[in-house]
Amino acid sequence: MTAKLIDGTALSKTLRADVATRAAALTARGHQPGLAVVLVGDNPASEVYVRNKVKACEDNGLFSSYDRYPATMTEADLLARIDALNRDPKIHGILVQLPLPKHIDSHKVIEAIAPEKDVDGFHVANAGALMTGKPLFRPCTPYGVMKMFEAYGIELKGANAVVIGRSNIVGKPMALLLLEANATVTICHSKTRNIAAFTRDADVVVVATGLRNTLTADMVKPGATVIDVGMNRDENGKLCGDVDFANVKEVAGHITPVPGGVGPMTITMLLVNTIEAAERAASNA
Ligand code: NAP
């Protein structure tokens, strides 16, 4: 069997058209949605992510501000900049690109962002709201994965779902969203004794480890849906995920490619969260 491809690029295009319509409606009412992107240091991968996010804003009618600071920026100066963005009425979403230089406490920085502008959904207030079933913002990557399930008619109610990876930005919120959608969820991680024993019984597997070939064909139940969040480079420098795509696609029912899967959806959901924040601000104005 060859799995059906879940096309994140095509789905993003559809969702971004809706974003552009909502952005235009807000702008017409004098509330153009605005995203502030903050980058500290010169990590080349972060520069690419940030540039893509700013361009996605420009392409879809959102205002964006892009602050680039040297790696020597102090924590106090960064906190002061966030405080100014919290109070700026043109800005509805604030994204501080991670990782930050080692001398800056990223936890402190995330907690400094006003929860109503925390479009990444990483602030403890937003993590807690997600945990208790009343999310203000869903973290972009897992939110994008949920949109993929919806668009491709993947049944989650009663499904066995396995998430491999337990980070605060992907694995844990992914598990919570799957639970909210009535899946039976198992979280695996680097200390899990026999991951294959869990994945072989799974209708849905989401892999987010940052490690190539975490999921191989012998670990997958025929017809299962496989979502690959990973972004790695192979020995030729080519972008690849955490899943052995060539072999797993022969067993799975649905699968996401890398590139062209989860990556574009993450940026799309950042735009969606910013629009939602702007709509809330406009309705309170
Ligand atoms: P992370 O913070 O490094 O977390 C990785 C998780 O994987 C940890 O929970 C770790 O377990 C687990 N893990 C590591 N090796 C494992 C193994 N051999 N078997 C089982 N679990 C293992 O990474 P992250 O931020 O969640 O990101 C994961 C991947 O997704 C990375 O490749 C990242 O680049 C990518 N990513 C992509 C997008 C996108 O938009 N496409 C967005 C975010 C992240 P422990 O907790 O036990 O250490």
Q: For 193-213, how does the pLDDT look when each residue is reduced to its tens digit (9 = 90+)?
A: 999 999 999 999 999 999 999
Query: How would residue 284 be classed by pLDDT, with cut points 50, 70 and 90?
Result: confident
pTM of the complete model beyond 0.85: yes
CATH number at residue 94: 3.40.50.10860
Active-site annotation holds for 97: yes
Statement to judge: residues 169 and 66 lie in one domain = no
From the list 119, 164, 111, 58, the residue with the least C-alpha distance to 272 is 119
Q: How far is the CA of 197 from the centre of ligand 1 (A)?
A: 20
Mean pLDDT of 52-70: 97
C-alpha to C-alpha distance for 41 and 149, rounded to whole angstroms: 36
Q: What is the pLDDT of residues 132-154, one digit of tens each?
A: 999 999 999 999 999 999 999 99
Q: Are residues 151 and 107 in the same domain?
A: no
pLDDT value at 159 more than 80: yes
CATH number at residue 147: 3.40.50.720
Can you tell me the mean pLDDT for 84-94?
Answer: 98
| Contact assessment for residue 193 and residue 182, using Cβ atoms and an 8 Å cutoff | no
Are residues 159 and 89 part of one domain? no
Neighbours of 235 (CB within 10 A): 7
53 is catalytic: yes
Q: What's the pLDDT score for residue 52?
A: 95
230 contacts 207 by C-beta, under 8 angstroms: yes
**How many CA atoms does the CB half-sphere of 267 hold within 13 Å?**
24
Boundaries of domain holding 253: 140-263
Three-state secondary-structure class, residue 253: coil
How high is the pLDDT of residue 36? 98
User: What is the atom index within ligand 1 of the atom nearest the CA of 210?
Assistant: 32
Residue 3 lies in a domain: no
Residue 285 has pLDDT above 90, yes or no: no
Looking at the structure, tell me whether residues 203 and 243 fall in a common domain: yes
For a pocket test of ligand 1, which of 43, 141, 167 has the largest count of ligand atoms closer than 8 A to its C-beta?
A: 167
Lowest-pLDDT range of 42-46, 100-104, 145-149: 42-46
Same domain, 107 and 182: no
Three-state DSSP state, 226? strand
Residue 275's pLDDT band (cuts 50, 70, 90): very high
Task: Kindly state if the Cβ of 263 falls inside 6 Å of ligand 1.
Answer: yes
Same domain, 109 and 218: no
Mean pLDDT of the chain: 97
pLDDT over 70 percentage in the chain: 100
Q: Assess whether the C-beta atom of 211 lies below 6 angstroms from ligand 1.
A: yes
Question: Can you tell me the distance from the alpha carbon of 25 to that of 250, in angstroms, rounded to the nearest whole number?
Answer: 44
Question: 3-class secondary structure for 3-40?
Answer: CEECCHHHHHHHHHHHHHHHHHHHHHCCCCCEEEEEEE
Determine, yes or no, domain membership for 276. Answer: no
The verdict on residue 23 lying in a domain is: no
Quote the pLDDT of residue 25. 98
In the chain, the number of structural domains is 2
pLDDT of 1 > 90? The answer is no
Cβ atoms of residues 41 and 100 within 8 Å? yes
**Distance separating alpha carbons of residues 284 and 148, to the nearest angstrom:** 31
Ligand 1 pocket, residue 98 CB under 6 Å: no
Binning pLDDT at 50, 70 and 90, where does residue 166 land?
Answer: very high
